[in-house]
Each structure stands twice: as C-alpha cells, then as structure tokens.
Chain A
C-alpha cells in the first residue's frame, strides 16, 4: 500500500525567509508522480508543483521547488522568500502508476511578519 508521511503538523517561518516542508512516501511502483497542493483557509485545493519519478532534475515553479531524493523516497517542498499569503495547509500527494492520488496529513505553515 502507498503511504505518504508529513511529519511536521505545523511550521513557522519569518516573512522573506525560505522554508522546507518534509514529505516521505512509500511505494513499490517504479512509475509515480509526486505533487504538492496548498489549501488556504478558504478551503480550495491549489496545485503547486509536480515531480515525475523518472525526472532527473528537481521541479521548480516560481518560488516553489521540489527537493526530490528518490533513493530516500523523499519529496520535500521548498518555498523561497516566504510571503504572508503563503500561510496555509500544504499537502504532499503521490499518484503511483496511473492509480488514484493519495495525500499526506498535511503541514500547517504560518508566515510571521
């Protein structure tokens, strides 16, 4: 069974600093996708970034980058230059081999002014 683990229930970061949100996963599939979603207090799920298991380079999308360490089964999200609007729940998710997507428990990020 696939399992996604986010060990940080809550994180704090100072505005303009970088923060890393941890995610580890477990799967026996060779082909899978890794995703990060943001859920602000308004409730919607916003797609942030995607990494394929065969991608050799770490994915980047603006201020978001995914630190992919395949051997460690780790897919940490790095947010650079944090902004107050980054305060939200962040979910790591995995979609193995064209199956349905499963989510971690989430990390609540609070950006301090």
Chain B
C-alpha cells in the first residue's frame, strides 16, 4: 500500500457520460498530480494541485477538470467522454521535502 488511495479501481461508462475519479494523497502530502496512461500516448501529465491551488497544467483536455479540497483529497472530472478517453488514470502525491512522487494504484476507465 503506497498510501495514495484512488477510487474507483475500475469504471465502465458510455460515451457522452461524465465521471469523477477520486484521490486521497499520502498523509501530509500537499501536492497532487494527475496522469493519464493510454496505450498510444504513454504517461501524460494532466494537472497538479498544491494545497488546494492549481499549480501546473499539462495535456489536459477542456472536457476534463480537477480540484483539490481543503482536506487535500482531489477529484478529476471527465465529461462528454469519448472512446479515446479509455485509459489508466493515476494520481500521485509528493511531500514538501521529497523529490519523487508516490503513485496510487490507478483507476482504469473504459468508455464503451
């Protein structure tokens, strides 16, 4: 157990729908990062939050949004889903004095 909790582990939904992925970082970690891993694009950085504020944006589509709440958990919202959004979505967290990221086990999203 890495200490980063992601729910749900698996999600199957239809095109056009909206889903919310949830992430609880390791205790004390203020930074949360979201990544998308698909077969053709590899691991793509989506967005970072630090203590509730957005810090950096990567290749995140306008249909996607995220937020980090006062208790530091984060949610990634994916809307108007397309078949190509099927992927493994990772959340990672980092402590202030750590260099690397600790990853959750991921949410596997399948859009049908």
Which among B42, B90, B104 is the interface contact of A106 at CB below 8 angstroms? Answer: B42
How many chain B residues have a CB neighbour from A under 8 Å?
A: 21
Interface Cβ pair total, 8 Å cutoff: 47
Q: Are A103 and B90 in contact (CB under 8 A)?
A: no
Are A47 and B56 CB-contacts (below 8 A) given A91-B43, A100-B48?
no
Give the CA-CA distance A74 to B104 in the complex, in Å. 28
* A99 interface residue (CB < 8 Å to B): yes
Q: Are B45 and A44 in contact (CB under 8 A)?
A: no
Shortest B74–chain A CB gap in Å is 14
B100 at interface by CB-CB < 8 Å: yes
Q: A33-B99, A100-B58, A101-B101 are in contact. Are A44 and B42 (CB under 8 A)?
A: no
Assess the B43–A44 pair: CB atoms within 8 A. no
B-facing residues in A26-50 (Cβ within 8 Å): 33, 35, 37, 43-47, 50
Contact of B105 among A35, A37, A44, A104 (CB under 8 A): A44
Q: Please, could you name 19 A-B residue pairs with CB atoms under 8 Å apart, sorted by A?
A: A43-B106, A44-B103, A44-B104, A45-B90, A45-B92, A45-B103, A46-B103, A47-B102, A47-B103, A50-B99, A50-B100, A101-B33, A101-B100, A103-B35, A103-B42, A103-B43, A104-B42, A105-B42, A106-B42
Q: Which residues of B contact A (CB under 8 A)?
A: 2, 33, 35, 42-43, 45, 48, 56, 58, 88, 90, 92, 99-106, 108
